[in-house]
Amino acid sequence: MTVTNSRETNERTAAERETAGDQLSAISDAIERIASAVAESVVAIKIERPGPTHAPGFDTRSRVGSVGSGVIASSNGLIVTAAHVVERADRILVTTPAGDELEAAIIGRNESTDLAILRVDASDLIPIAPSTTPKRPGQLVLAVGRPPMAGYVVTNGIVSAVDRSTKTFSGTPVNDLIQTTAAVEPGVSGGAIVDSRGALLGIITSATDATRSISFAVPIGQVLETVNSLVPAAAGIDTPFPHD
């Protein structure tokens, strides 16, 4: 009797383990598919800024570079990023998911939301859809960025709080943010926080502490308001962040 019960227990445990493994594999596959799809709407950004002049009277300024990410808002070249990423930029280079390097112009910036709108000369980019899901603590999220020379990077977490305030890396205070547990690395500012369907929940603005284990994002509502206020109606740009 004891042997039979032990065998049944082992068989049941093995079956439960297999079922749990199948469920985890399905979740893993889903995350991989969502991340891959979102990455097609995330670009790499390289910035050149003026450095110190080494010889008085001569134009011999060195170039100080920095990097970030951006999110494609329209097929014909509208890109949203964090304003601090392009602060004091002399030159902005955007690398698309296809690998094309394009020079970008700043259409507008809003320091209070830490958002900037860029434009590149392109016609076949893949814009991301905005999330229509209300942001709420406990919501599963992915952070997707594309630091130059690194391909796209993905981390996962949850919305840990809403309506938070913080300062960007350049010291600008920003309010009404989404706080998440998705860790972000250097070069991911300006990238995407997306929901479980891969829709844009917010634009990454900053992270806290040395571990970068808590990140903040400007919510999609503010992103849409900022884009609509900064992009001229007659600019010949497709509707930003199209959705069904």
Pick from 96, 150, 97: which is nearest to 118 by CA? 96
CATH topology of 42-52+61-127 equal to that of 140-224? yes
pLDDT tier, 12 (very low <50, low <70, confident <90, very high otherwise): low
Q: Residue 216's beta-bridge partner residues? A: 179, 206
Distance CA 185, CA 183 (A): 7
Give the pTM: 0.85
Looking at residue 174, what is its pLDDT? Answer: 85
pLDDT digits (tens, 9 = 90+) for 13-68: 766 677 777 788 888 899 999 999 999 999 999 999 876 655 555 454 556 678 99
Looking at residue 10, what is its pLDDT? Answer: 66
pLDDT digits (tens, 9 = 90+) for 180-232: 999 998 899 999 999 999 999 999 997 655 556 789 999 999 999 999 998 87
**Extents of the domains making up the chain:** 42-52+61-127, 140-224
Distance CA 128, CA 146 (A): 15
Looking at residue 192, what is its pLDDT? Answer: 98
| CATH match for 140-224 among 3.30.70.100, 2.40.10.10, 2.40.160.10, 2.50.20.10 | 2.40.10.10
Domain 42-52+61-127, architecture per CATH: Beta Barrel (2.40)
pLDDT tier, 144 (very low <50, low <70, confident <90, very high otherwise): very high
Q: Is 224 exposed, middle or buried (0-12, 13-18, 19+ CB in 10 A)?
A: middle
Of 104-108, 118-122, 166-170, 208-212, which gets the smallest average pLDDT? 208-212
Q: Could you identify the residue written with the tokens 């010889």?
A: 55
Of 56-65, 104-113, 161-170, 218-227, which gets the smallest average pLDDT? 56-65
Catalytic residue numbers?
Answer: 84, 114, 189
Looking at residue 195, what is its pLDDT? Answer: 96
User: If you average pLDDT over residues 75-84, what whole number do you get?
Assistant: 94
